[in-house]
Structure 1
Amino acid sequence: MQRRTLATAALLIAGLLGTAAPAVMAQTKTLKVVAHADVKILDPSFTTAYITRNFGYMVYDMPFGLDSKGQPKPQMVDKYTTSKDGKLWTFTLRPGLKFSDGTPVKAADVVASMQRWTAKDSIGRAMTAISAAEWKTVDEKTFTLTLKEPFGMVLEGMAKPSGFPPVVMPERLARMPTTAPLTEVMGSGPFVFKRDEWVPGNKVVFVRNPHYVPRNEPANGLAGGKKSAFDRIEWSYIPDANSAVAALKKGEVDLIEQVPPDYINPLRSDTNVKLAPSGAWQGWMVMNQLHPPFNNPKIRQAVLKAVSQDKFMAAMGYPVDMRVTNCATFFICGSAHETFAGAEPWRTPDLAKAKQMLAEAGYKGEKVVLLVPSDITYLNAEALMALQTLRNMGMNVEPVTSDWASIGARRAKRDAPDAGGWNMYVTVAGSFDADSPITNAYLSASCGSSLPGWPCDKPLDELRTAWLKETNPAKRKELLDKFHVQAFNALPYIPVGQYTPAMAIRKEVKGVEKMWNGLPLVWALDK
């Protein structure tokens, strides 16, 4: 009797609410993702960490988005025009755009967001330095960009997918200082961050943004209609590779964003799992150039001479068919900007020569604080190979182990290594952040930038600017080669090899073919 009464009451309540009973009882459609790292910083305009960038994709949108061919397409923008001389751009927003609290997105919000982005990002900073970029609000839906001279990467900048993507946030947040990360999240994108369900070190939850207005066309890369088939997205942080892969095999999770390298070959034979290649990536050793010993470029070059890319890639565990043998470019091997200018002295590792160079550079046994991530297997292996390389050279290395999110916070500190700072950390970069003098995160870091490591080389800055301004293809290629030669002299970072990672996705998940360059474009999936 009690059970029947409860059922009758549920139906009565449903009727009073004007909702059919089946809708009340409908199951929430959820996609469960194993994220590659823990989320600690929620502001994609503060850090270049990929986990924060991916968080930004979930909750924010951008004026333009790159499609799967790498072409910028209008996203929040409805239409735009440019003057014949390329110095005045006018943009009109799509109708109906709202933030996740239901308030309308206005041109003033976009202008403030673009000003915040221009101050931080490599393309934005170059736009200001070369063309004195000025963003202005015309009315609630219209804004302009005025340039002193034409700048050829306006749309590419407004669609920049990585580094510091130009996400749109409310004006009041965009006006906040960029010296500390924003903690409030008020998004313009397809999902809402569920702060009440956030468990740092364990889980991040997003739900569909009821106020989001997607474009009408199909999703295509980071462009098109971001219309999610899922009501709820759960990011789990599972640092133990065995546990993550076991959860995928059992169907407890739907997707592993970055498959631990040792599990790629075993998963290739699993009929319940699909592997999706994630584009071209490089491993990097990043050195703090504010403090000894790596404030000396000759010592940085000595380390480069000791680096064996084959050993680094083997240590990271990627299968042979997913690695490039000795990629001697700072850009992506096989890309449009591939160049080996200046690489010849550094192609072949030579430990004896590296020791000699280290001594000649005046190394006096200064301690090197190396940050070692404990929770991402391939980064841990990369760091341990860096440790071995430095010690083989005779350097005094102190490894400091912590999770990747903590390293992301520590690497932003300018303090001396013995006061909580650091000397070296390792990372990886996708093609978005490696493939040109302006998009490569460290080669594009001009003097005075806030990028951890704080590289500064004025000749490199001058060559980058000349390359950006040049329109003649032959002269542009000549400048690219000169830039690459100078990069070996300045050595903002050390490439340690190129590889192709992979996502792993349950077979029942549809839309895997829409995944692009390793980006977790969850709005393109269904099951």
Structure 2
Amino acid sequence: MQRRSLLAAAGAALLAKPSLAQGVRPRTLRFVPQANLTVLDPILTTAGVSLNHGYAVFDTLYGTGADFKPVPQMAEGHEVSADGRTWLIRLRPGLRFHDGEPVRAVDCAASLARWSKRDTFGQTLGAAVEAWEAQDDRTLRIRLSRPFPRLLSALAFVGPIPAFIMPERLAKTDPYKAVTEMVGSGPYRFLPDEFVSGSRVAYAKSDGYVPRQEPAVLNAGGKVAHFDRLEWQIIPDSSTAASALQSGEVDWWEFADADLTPMLSRNRGITVASYDPLGFMAFLRFNSHVPPFNNAKLKRVVLSAVDQAQYMPLITGGDDKAWHTAYSMFPTGLPFVKEVGAEAMGAPKDLERLRRAVKDAGYAGEKVVILSPTDLPTVASFGDVTAELLKQLGMNVDLQVMDWGSVVQRRTSREPVEKGGWSIFHTTWKSSSIANPALNTNIRGQGDSGWFGWFRSEGIERLTREWLDAASDAEQQRLFDAIQLEAFEQVPVVPLGQFLQKTAYRSDLTGMLPGPAAFPWNLRRA
């Protein structure tokens, strides 16, 4: 606590400097994101901080409404052919990019083609697409090899990689290389001259943006920007961020540290609320591409050794009401989700038996490199817990600590650990972003084209395709269970529990939209 007090005092003194205080303006929304922004291209990564950036700058053809059904956003409407293989999507009139150019169907076609190479749901849709093309400037035509009834759901989903629309010249960038020029058609314009990674990100209200007339809900409806400017202040230390919020130097702290929320809650000028009512799940992610965790038998041993109660109190500040065990690959409480991993994960933790199981699995002393961020409070302590557990199991552990931006970049390496690769990192997912088999990037078995860790499972991919085509609830349930059973057998990830994340903001802010991203619209100062 003494260290926190000193840091808080230092942070308050820093933020009280005239150079910063003079920058405070009533028409500026000042935001402290969950981590540093290192990847500007929101199609290139699943990092939540890049998702937030993407929603400020870009827009989507469809959004997800209050009942989680797709609704038009940039689109005016659509038509589907009788055989279900041709979709025509008509754009709203008057849409413009931040460089003044009109949004055209060719921009949408190129954007969706690139997105479909990176997003998990997009890859599934893309496999059924014969062509993304323009019928005319305002009409996008999607030709399919087979009907895909959930096409709009894929285009509308909130994340982790939304189907953001960008100009054709940018969308033609290799999907595995970053777009560096941020030109979107969303409510805010990115200000590249003011961007300093590790310190500051700035946006200006887009005067040419024409919001829809419906109320804002999640990533749909009227995205009205009530502030002239949006400024991100990167503050890695939780105490400093809390001090800045209390002093009024910032308006909104995205992920409030659980240890500090009781203090913040006592401040009448601050509101502490659930970030997303559906909650989050935490996971340990294996690199299934390189030894030693290209061995499913070894991963099953780690799965059975993990005790979620060793992880969750670290993320919730010891608040037992803010988390619960989740022996499932999907968030509990959602349709079709059963805790099919309860037997494997809920058994007593017999270390001697587990050590023998590690040897029986064929582990030969290979180095296990764990990537652990210092500046992302939600997972900062997980690396220590996992490192200690694996050491107890007799593994050769190398815990490497770094900032989250470095983790995001390092986890793209497919090299062996001896050449800069990795074995494990920890992450969290918004419940809504992994709610069904098509969306759940964690367990999709797409191999080289899949998420970091490059887990491959032809069985899960086949079952997912069958689930997409399932006509009855009973058939969906059967396939949902089969997918989970296969995932617990092959173990691409280990679930660490389900929890509620808190956000904190100045009480004079109104219009906050709870959900799986930090939406910058609809907010205004009372």
TM-score for the superposition, normalised by structure 2:
0.92
Q: Who is 2:35 aligned against?
A: 37
* Corresponding residue to 2:59 among 58, 61, 73: 61
Contact 1:68 1:516 in 2 (8 A): no
Q: Write the letter of the residue equivalent to 1:478.
A: R
CA distance in 1, matches of 2:166, 2:389: 44
CA shift, 1:347, in A, is: 2.0
> Residue 174 of structure 1 is aligned with which of 171, 175, 190?
171
* Partner amino acid, structure 2, of 1:324: W
Residues 307 and 349, structure 1, Cα contact 8 Å, conserved in 2: no
What RMSD in Å do the two structures reach over aligned CA positions? 1.6
Distance 1:244 1:482, change over 3 A: same
Deviation at 1:77, TM superposition (A): 0.3
CA distance in 1 between partners of 2:336 and 2:199 (Å): 40
Matched residues in 2 for 1:27 and 1:506: separation?
14
User: C-alpha distance in 1, partners of 2:516/2:506?
Assistant: 16
What is the identity percentage for the equivalent residue pairs of Structure 1 and Structure 2?
A: 34
Q: Give the corresponding residue for 2:359.
A: 359
Aligned partner of 2:133 among 130, 133, 136: 136
Query: Could you tell me how far 1:40 is from its partner in structure 2?
Result: 1.0
DSSP-derived class of the 1:126 partner:
helix
Distance in 2, matches of 1:75 and 1:340, equals: 36
d(CA) in 2 for partners of 1:189, 1:109:
14
How far 1:143 moved relative to its partner? 1.1
The C-alpha deviation readout for 1:407-461, integer Å capped at 9, x for no partner, is 1011011111111111111111111332111111222342332411000011111
Paired residue secondary structure (1:524): coil
**Cα displacement (A) at 1:73:** 1.0
* DSSP 3-state at the match of 2:102: coil
Aligned residue in 2 for 1:297: 296
- Name the residue aligned to 2:99: 101
Name the SS for the 2:312 alignment partner. Answer: helix
**Residues 146 and 322 (structure 1 numbering): CA distance in 2 closer, same or farther, change over 3 Å?**
farther
Does the CA-based 8 Å contact 1:261-1:316 persist in structure 2?
A: yes
Give the structure 2 partner of residue 258 of structure 1.
255
Match of 1:77?
Answer: 75
Q: Which runs of 4+ in 1 moved over 3 A?
A: 321-324
Q: Distance in 2 between matches of 1:377 and 1:107?
A: 42
What is the CA–CA distance in structure 1 between the aligned matches of 2:197 and 2:336, rounded to whole Å? 39
Amino acid in structure 2 at the alignment position of 1:165: P
Structure 1 residues 27 and 485, CA gap change in structure 2 (3 angstroms): closer
1:201 aligns with 2:198: yes
Residue equivalent to 1:525: 523
Distance in 1 of aligned mates of 2:205 and 2:373:
33
SS at match of 1:196: helix
State the one-letter code of the partner of 2:133.
K
Q: Using a 3 Å threshold, how does the CA distance of structure 1 residues 464 and 396 change in structure 2: closer, same or farther?
A: same
- Aligned counterparts of 1:256 and 1:349: Cα–Cα separation in 2: 39
Change (3 A) 1:277 1:216: same
Pair 1:145 & 2:117 matched:
no
* Secondary structure of 1:379's aligned partner: coil
Displacement of 1:511 in angstroms is: 1.3
**Could you list the runs of 5+ residues in structure 2 that have no partner in the other structure?**
1-23
Bigger drift between 318-327 and 172-181 goes to 318-327
Look up the match of 2:407: 407
The DSSP-based 3-state class of the residue aligned with 1:149 is coil
Tell me which residue corresponds to 2:18: none
Partners of 2:314 and 2:392 in 1: how far apart?
A: 16
Matched AA of 2:165: V
* Cα pair distance change 1:351/1:265, threshold 3 Å: farther
**2:334 equivalent in structure 1:** 335
Mind listing any 5+ residue stretches in structure 1 that lack a counterpart? 1-25
Which of these two proteins has the greater Rg computed from alpha carbons? 1
**Preserved CA contact (<8 Å) 1:447 1:458:** no
Q: How is 1:74-473 mapped onto 2 (pairs within 5 angstroms)?
A: 74-129=72-127, 131-279=128-276, 280-352=279-351, 353-473=353-473
TM-score (norm 1): 0.92
- CA contact 2:366–2:396 (8 Å) conserved in 1: yes
Give me the whole-angstrom Cα distance separating, in 1, the residues matched to 2:489 and 2:445. 15
